[in-house]
Amino acid sequence: MSMSDTITLSLDEAGELARKVLLKQGLAPDHAAAVARTMVAGERDGCASHGLYRLLVTANSVAKGVVVPDAEPVVSEPSPALVRVDGRGGFAQLPFERGLPLLVEKARKLGIAAMALNNVVHFAALWPEVETLAEQGLVAFACTPSHAWVAPEGGTVPVFGTNPIAFGWPRPEKPPFVFDFATSATARGEIELHRRAGKQTPEGWGYGPDGKPSTDPEAILAGAMRTFGGHKGSALAAMVELLAGPLIGDMTSIESIAADEGRMGSPIGGELIIAIDPAGFLGDAVAQHQRSAEAMFDAIEGQGARLPSVRRYVARAKSLVEGVRLPKPLYDDIHALLEGNEA
């Protein structure tokens, strides 16, 4: 992308633009603020498929009536170690923020706690959530199903969502170790970006509607995506369905896409987040065992391999200084959302 094809925004400008567009879409101010924080974090960290591009995605979900734009989340405690937040059909970010303090308090008190977000609409990456927990000294795990877009290994008919798994590990004096990836060969957002750019996808991402392997993003979006790592990704995708679907009383990806009724909105359903306090197992020995973890990280980086999250932290440092660069067509599409009738 040359400079002339892009528009550069400071992070404050990006946040302001996102909030303005989301308010225009009809989101309540607290939802708009929470959603904008997540999108700007994605753009800032070089995660284009889950950055400001998602303003187009939320616009569609609001316009099609998939999301309740002013839903008031309800926090409850089903048991001493559990938090439930009923998002009442709103986007997932505000319910996460509302349940977070109680989840942290319970994890610190009991050693481990879990939070179910129910009845939420999910368009976002999961790393902001596990990173937030890891920054508070907790080990964190999160997963969510999506829409049935992904075929199980050995088949070509969608059953699973793109079902991301995210993990965060707190590190002394350093930003946390975090990974977050779809259990599909890639996130659906990446295939959408290939379609927007008129580019073929790499081999192995999916099948066309005829069940044949394809590199045409339109065909894969209409057909089926593939899991990553063959049968292993397929089993992990099934695990995500079970943990953040039936276990917490919410929808599988098959049920989510049925509930969408062809509106092509973002997935509706649940998310499971688990937080573990290392002191629960280790007491005073936390620092000693953290040194073993650091030795493992050193062994990875010492041979020239990189840790997941490092690319994001480098992109973040750059964006804090230089701002973010949006492709001009995307910037124009986002601005077009501000035109038209007042929401």
Residues that bind ligand NDP (CB under 6 A): 50, 122, 124-127, 144, 146, 162, 164, 166, 179-182, 186-187, 190, 267, 306, 308-312
- As measured in angstroms, the least distance from the Cβ of 187 to ligand NDP is 4
Catalytic residue selected from 49, 146, 253, 309: 49
> CB under 5 to 8 A by kind: which of ligand PYC, ligand NDP, none does 337 bind?
none
Interface positions with ligand PYC (CB under 6 A): 49, 122-123, 146, 162, 182, 187-189, 266-267
Q: Is 49 known to be catalytic?
A: yes
CB 89 within 8 A of CB 27: no
**Looking at 97, 129, 190, 241, which residue is catalytic?**
190
Count of helices and strands (H, E) across the chain:
13, 13
Which residues have CB under 8 Å from 41's CB, separation 6+? 128
Contacts of 218 (CB under 8 A, 6+ apart): 195
CB of 149 to ligand PYC, least distance (A): 7
The least CB distance from residue 187 to ligand PYC, in Å, is 3
Q: Is 122 a catalytic residue?
A: no
According to DSSP, the β-strands at 150-151 and 224-226 are: parallel
Q: From the CB of 179, what's the least distance to ligand NDP, in Å?
A: 4
- 228 vs 181: CA distance, rounded Å: 10
Name the catalytic one among 31, 50, 122, 194.
Answer: 50
Residue 144 contact among ligand PYC, ligand NDP, none, beta carbon within 5 to 8 Å by kind = ligand NDP
Task: Indicate the residue among 85 and 185 with the shorter CB distance to ligand PYC.
Answer: 185
DSSP symbol at 202: P
CB under 8 Å to 155, separation ≥6 — which residues? none
Report the alpha-carbon distance of residue 270 to residue 212 in Å, rounded.
32
Residue 58 interacts, among ligand PYC, ligand NDP, none and using kind-specific CB cut-offs from 5 to 8 Å, with none
**Tokens read off for 269:** 């359903």
Total count of residues recorded for the chain:
343
Give the residue numbers annotated as catalytic, written as ranges.
49-50, 190
